[in-house]
Amino acid sequence: MADFPIELRQLVDAPDLSFTDDQVEVLLAHVGDLDPTIRDDTVFTLFERGLDEDAFTPAQRRTIAKHLLTNRGLFTAIDQPASDAVFQRTFTALLTAAVLDNDAQHAWLTTVDRNQFFNDALTYLVREHDQRGWVPDKGWAHGVAHGSDLLGYAWQHPQFPLNQTPMALATIATVFVRQTTPFQFDEEPRLAMPLIQALRVGHLTTTQLNDWLTATDQRLWTNFSFDRGPAARLHNWLSFLHHLYFLLPKEPTTQQLITTLSHHYYQVNGYTN
């Protein structure tokens, strides 16, 4: 941390935040820093507080949005083998989610920029193939979790186009279909949360959710075997269903459907008759 400005570290505990333009640029330059004490404890903490507490000037907020849209850190080296670039992507995802959340409250993004962020949220989880969660000495990569957070804040945004709801559902299904190993770092509840967020604001109907659950379940059972990949996908799906059941607001039809899908899993695996 020797080359990271001490005044920024000290701002984390400041009661009243404000930033110079140069400080904003430094924060943007360290979004994907490999030192978690800089990236998590300082940079993202300050971005989150700054947006929540309206500590950035309107011009600084625009600078942050422009940086995200111009530098495309969300997709840095995303089609290449797993590398440290994942931290740039996943923490860009979290920052983009925070920007969308702030815009939902204050409506300062342009329509063009906002729609690009929506498109990025729908695209990122499909393209992110680095499945690592906790990385020793470097902290949380957590692409599935952070991508789910981004999708949730996009989907619940007042300006999210409802004709994109099927794409949002397809994005989550894609994560389950392509997974070949069991999740290890609580990805399942993070994947459930975008559905909860969309339901709360009426951007997803119970009928749409139930139809998607039924179709995705059928898709995952197609050509099922007890080989590692198919078994892991169904294990992840069952865990997701159970998290969704308890996170849902009272939705009797959906909870009954989840119960039915769960019993089918238990029957196939010989736990019940």
- Identify whether 227 is part of a domain: yes
**Is pLDDT of 231 > 70?**
yes
Count of domains for the chain = 1
- Identify whether 37 is part of a domain: no
Question: Quick one: pLDDT at residue 250?
Answer: 86
How far apart are alpha carbons 177 and 160 in whole angstroms?
25
- Identify whether 191 is part of a domain: yes
Question: Quick one: pLDDT at residue 2?
Answer: 52
How far apart are alpha carbons 95 and 173 in whole angstroms?
24
- Identify whether 136 is part of a domain: yes
- Identify whether 273 is part of a domain: no
- Identify whether 245 is part of a domain: yes
Segments forming the whole domain that contains residue 159: 107-268
Mean pLDDT, the chain, integer: 96
- Identify whether 208 is part of a domain: yes
- Identify whether 63 is part of a domain: no
Question: Quick one: pLDDT at residue 119?
Answer: 98
